[in-house]
Structure formats: C-alpha cells, structure tokens
Amino acid sequence: MIEGKQIIGFELKAGGDVLWQSTNPATGEKIADFRSATPAEIEEAATKAASAFLVYRKKSGFEKADFLDAIAGEMSAISDELLAICMAETALLKVNLTIELNRTINQLKMFGNLLREGSWLDARIETAEPERLPRPKPDVRFMHIGLGPVLVFGSSNFPFAFSTAGGDTASALAAGCPVIVKAHPAHPATGHMVAQAILRAAQKTGVPDGVFSHLFDNGLSVAQALVVHPAIKAVGFTGSTKGGKALYDMAVRRDEPIPVYAEMGSSNPVFVLPEIAKNEAENFAKGFASSVSVSVGQLCTNPGILLYEKSQASEGFTNKLQQEFQQTVGGVMLAPNIANAYNTGVEHRAAHPGVEVISKGQTTEGLNVGAPVLFKTDSTAFMADATLAEEIFGPESIVVEANSKEEIFNIARNLHGHLTATIHGTPADLEAYRELIDILELKVGRIIINGFPTGVDVSSAMVHGGPFPATSDSRATSVGTAAIFRFTRPVAYQNMPDALLPEELQNANPLNIWRRINGAMDQGKVE
C-alpha cells in the first residue's frame, strides 16, 4: 500500500505517529496510509511559506502565470490516474469527476490569463499637480498586492475544484501568496497526487521552496496550529457551518486578526411562479429532480428549498414533482460520516410533525448510501421552525406551499443568507413578481432565472458567495476571477521615482495594462 507524505515546500516528510488510511466508501477497502503532520512539520511549512512569500510575491504576473499553467499541465498529464484514484476515494461518477477535473485545470489557466492581462490589479495613477492650491497635489499610485501565506482547507465534496489545486489555491497563488493546503481526509491520495503535480510545476518554473505545502491530518491539529500562526494571513475553507465558523472564531481572536473566507451551508431556495407551476410542471420537475440528486446531492448549490403558491394547479405540480423525483437514484456518499449525517438528518426531518415525505428516489444497496428524499411542508410550519431552512447535505429538498404571493415575499424576506436563489417564471410571472428579485438580491450571491443553481460556471462574472451564514464574508466570491481579491490589499506609492515603482505603475506602462489614470480608464502611458 502506498504511503502519502507531507509535502513541505520541496521536501517530503512523514514523521508523525498518527497513522490512518483513506478508504473506498463503497467497499470499505483501504487505499493508502497517511500520517497526520507533526507540530514540527506544521511549523516548517509555515516558516517556509513566510520566506517564500518575500521572493514569490516579487515574481512578475507572467512568471506566476507560468507556474499556474505548469500546474494545469502537470495535472492534465496524469488525468487518468487522478480520475481513477479519485473515483475510488469518493465514489463520485467518472462523468462528473471528469468535468470537475477539467474545470479545475481551466480555472488554473484562467487565473494565468488574468495575470497576463493585468487589469485585475485595479492599478490607479494620480499624477502630480505642483501648482494646485491650497496644497500641491502629489503623485500617488495604487495597486493590489498579496496578503501573505494562505491556509486552504480541501473540501470533502469537490476533490479537485475546491481542494488541493482548486479555486482557493489558484486564486491565492495568482495573488502572489504561498499556500499551505490541509488536505481533506476523505480523499487524501487524490490530494497527494495533485500536490505532487504542483511540486513538479514549482520546481520546473523556478518558484521558491515553500510556495506550496500540503499537509495531512485526520484531526484538528493542523487547523488549530495554522489558523493562529503569525505567518498565516488568510484562510480559505469550503465545508460545514460548524467547521467554517470555528475557523472564523479562531482567526478573529488572534493578536492580529486575519480574514477567513468560509463557504458554509446553503439551501439555495427555488421559487416557482404560477404560470410555470401551471404550464411547465413536467419540464421543471425533471430539471429540479436532477439538480437535487446529481452527485448524490453533495453540492454547495444543491436546491434544498422549493417554494410555490397554492393554486388550482398546485396539486398537478406536486404530482409531477413526486413522479420525477421517484426517477432519481441515490448512491454511495463521500464518506461514512457524511452518509450518517445525511441519513440521520433525513430521519429527523421526516419525524417533524409539520413535514411529510412526498417522494423518494431509488436506493442502491451497500455501504454509505444516501437515497433522495423530497419533503413537503406548508408556509406556517416553515416560518415557525428555522431548522427547516437548514441544509441537510445530500440529495434532499423540501417543498413549501404558500398561501399567497405576499406569503412568498414574506418567506423570502425572512431567509437568512444563501449562495443562490432561483426563480422559475414566464415573462409575465417575472414582471408580476419583480419585487421578489429585489428581496433576493439582499439574501444571496447569485440569482438564477429559469435554470438551476448546480453547475457553477467559472468565469469573470461568477459570484459564489453570499451573506452569512452562506459564507463568513459576503464581500467575497470563491469562484471566478474576482476570487483573487480575497487575498490582496491595496498599497499606494506617493512621489516614488518611476524606476522604483512596480512595472504595473510605471509611466511607460510596459505591461500594456488597463489602468485608471486621474480617474479615467486608460490603457496607455502616463504623459
């Protein structure tokens, strides 16, 4: 059996006493041995990251882009092996993992392109006016720089896209920040293979020892030591509300508080407006059932609440939902604790006096299986018990039947923060419910019309974030190019001689980037 090792900059170590295994959740078979990182290994990763930052941050955008591209290339070169080990560790389907791996590779390249294009820096130049009264105007120039080493937690449910070389790592490296990943113990062998690809890319592209480290832990030691470590300047996390909030609480109590970007729970409410419920029930129900059950419901954007208004058409609409939901198929979940939490959560909700189970998907046999469940409640019960709006991580959703449009608006007004909200409506529906969009804008990071929230597109315009408790910081997105700003801060240079300025701010604009010169967008030189 292979043994995973901590990757600490350019060195591999495995000095720990705590030995554990990664397992195939479908069979219980052991896949590989791992040792939790020791305090000395943790300290070494932090120290190396702090030193590497001083060198790495001064590399040009082109050099950092080359590093990101090299990681993408190293991952592409071993994609078959990556998919094989990941399927064994996670029980996710090859078709979905292939999409996720490609998305992860493209995401690395996207950040490379962002660095080469350069306008992300928000470079701003105010030129001097020595004659200005009552005081001369100084020359002041502004751009973003990296915060320092970033601690990234691999997520359970996205072994590629939100793990070792996922969006947090890619955006932090793009920002000029070294990264220490705490690998998720549900798929450590996948993480280790990706981390070795990053190590090869680092050595080939000449970034310094310590820009990337990858630590294993099946407990809390790495998290507890690094979140409060003075070398760490920000944290990226995707996972449970409890886990994310615990990291946040540690980080804000440090002597030097640091930002924590925790993407936590979200039930992603879906609103079905009357004409859709009446005329498009079957189409909607098919899409909805698929969005709830894809990847055994283990997606942050899984639509966990479905709301509509009671009407003459409601019964037919509910019947279609029930029928389509019966066609869904459950499967092996990512890990025993996740399957247990899902099945316990579903049982608990089924026992709620105001809730009934109106449809079940097909079950499969075997270990760690989760089956799709569709609950139903009414608006009174839903409004009376906030736990009914909470996510149960897995392939379930709850249908909420409201008595009026005003009740729909009230429920929307009372939602806490979610990653997404979705509205299905005809043009006439949307016009009649226009206020709903205004309400939901304040509740979520992304509003989807006539689509489904799963399948987050990675682009310059994506927001994967939202008000608390969807995330710990609504000002940020963890997907898309704007994710880079989680790990940067602006710095200004006043009256600095041109040759001492970063190239991005020099008069001649040698990088040919868009800048804001005396307040106006400009891609030229400073005259």
Positions in 231-290 near its own copies (CB under 8 A): 248-249, 252, 256-257, 259
Which of 41, 74, 89, 263 is labelled catalytic?
A: 263
For its own copies, which is the closer residue by CB, 200 or 416?
A: 416
**Cα 465–Cα 469–Cα 470 angle in degrees, nearest 5:** 30
| Contact string 474-513 vs its own copies (x = CB under 8 A) | xxxx--xxx--x--xxxxxxxxxx--x-------------
Binding segment toward its own copies, per CB under 8 A, in 361-369, 370-378, 391-399, 469-477: 469-477
Active site includes 503?
A: no
- Residues in contact with its own copies, counted by CB under 8 A, come to a total of 84
391-450: contacts with its own copies (CB under 8 A): 416-417, 427, 430, 434, 437-438, 441-442, 444-450
263: three-class secondary structure by DSSP: strand
Cα–Cα dist 225/216, whole Å: 13
Looking at residue 502, what DSSP letter applies?
-
Active site includes 177?
A: no
| Contact string 142-181 vs its own copies (x = CB under 8 A) | x--x-xx---------------------------------
Which of 74, 280, 300, 504 is labelled catalytic?
A: 300
For its own copies, which is the closer residue by CB, 13 or 137?
A: 137
Binding segment toward its own copies, per CB under 8 A, in 194-202, 263-271, 276-284, 516-524: 516-524
Looking at residue 329, what DSSP letter applies?
B
Tokens of 311: 């009407």
CB 45 within 8 A of CB 53: no
309: three-class secondary structure by DSSP: strand
Cα–Cα dist 237/226, whole Å: 13
For its own copies, which is the closer residue by CB, 126 or 282?
A: 126
- CB of 418: closest distance to its own copies in angstroms? 12
Question: Strand pairing partners for 521?
Answer: 516
Cα–Cα dist 394/369, whole Å: 10
For its own copies, which is the closer residue by CB, 337 or 494?
A: 494
462 lines the binding site for its own copies (CB under 8 A): yes
CB 195 within 8 A of CB 203: no
For its own copies, which is the closer residue by CB, 93 or 358?
A: 93
85-144: contacts with its own copies (CB under 8 A): 99, 102, 113-114, 117, 119, 122, 124-126, 134-135, 137-138, 140-142
Question: Strand pairing partners for 331?
Answer: 370
Cα–Cα dist 249/9, whole Å: 28
- CB of 99: closest distance to its own copies in angstroms? 6
CA distances from 326 to 66, 343, 358, 373, 399 (A): 48, 18, 10, 9, 15
- Pick from 15, 458, 7, 62: nearest CA to 198: 7
For its own copies, which is the closer residue by CB, 249 or 503?
A: 249
Q: Which residues are catalytic?
A: 263, 300
